[in-house]
Amino acid sequence: MTRRLGRRKVGHLTRPGYRAGNSAAGNEHAKRTGATWVDNDWQKTKDNVDINSHWPQPRHEGFLPKDDHRTWADLTWDEVKELETPDGYRVRTMEQAFEDAKAHGQRVEAEAKFQCTVEDCLRLALLARKVFGRGWRAFVWVKTLTTLTGGYAAAVMRLHAASFAGFVTLLLVRLRARFRRRFSPYIDYVRGSHVPNRLIRNPKEKR
């Protein structure tokens, strides 16, 4: 069943740039502001290491020169871990992001920024279980936007993979996305003011 997610304070530091929110500074900011959840963007490297970064191209955050158009998927983890922005930020793995969240008493909304597969989501689930233990599903959710490449259909595919791996899933609705049918059973929650009430399933309805 799909439900509209109620109010939740999520730490999402965006200055200077998303690199701050995807670092230990983001966890510190969330703690200071009383947020019990943190927004951590999820990408992967060429050799399938899950990393915590927003933009697909490192140059957007200063990890590479502006004329270098390579993506995270073009780089190995050995290459990525050597990168540093002019203001001193480095890229965390998602495992490190989970560990920082746990140390600050926080839970994680892992935002899929690429077309993740079941294999990708199972790998992330193993990391979540490693850090948070048997109750990991309550501590790490997977969410995605309707505005990424492929729109709503691609977003459903990402959340389908995440649901298969055992995650609670969250769809972020942006820019008045148009829905022609009821939400997929793989979407547990939605967030966004543009979601028509008629598309929200009855909480008593079986999934």
pLDDT tens readout for residues 130-159: 999 999 999 999 999 999 999 988 999 999
The tens digit of pLDDT for each residue in 67-90 reads 999 999 999 999 999 999 999 999
pLDDT of the residue at 136: 98
Q: Which segments of the chain are extended strands (E)?
A: 3-4, 10-11, 37-44, 50-52, 92-93, 107-112, 140-145, 169-172, 189-191
User: Which residue, 81, 62, 58, 90, is CA-closest to 71?
Assistant: 58
Q: What is the mean pLDDT of the chain?
A: 88
pLDDT of the residue at 184: 79
pLDDT of the residue at 12: 76
- Say if residue 34's pLDDT is above 90: yes
User: What residue type is 164 in one-letter code?
Assistant: F
Contacts of 178 (CB under 8 A, 6+ apart): 152
Contacts of 152 (CB under 8 A, 6+ apart): 146, 177, 178, 179
The tens digit of pLDDT for each residue in 92-135 reads 999 999 999 999 999 999 999 999 999 999 999 999 999 999 99
Please say whether the beta carbons of 3 and 197 come within 8 A: no
pLDDT of the residue at 207: 40
Work out the average pLDDT over 47-56.
97
- Say if residue 3's pLDDT is above 90: no
Residue with tokens 């972020």: 172
User: Which residue, 22, 36, 13, 169, is CA-closest to 105?
Assistant: 36
Indicate the DSSP class of residue 177.
Answer: -
- Say if residue 61's pLDDT is above 50: yes
Q: Look up the pTM and report it.
A: 0.89
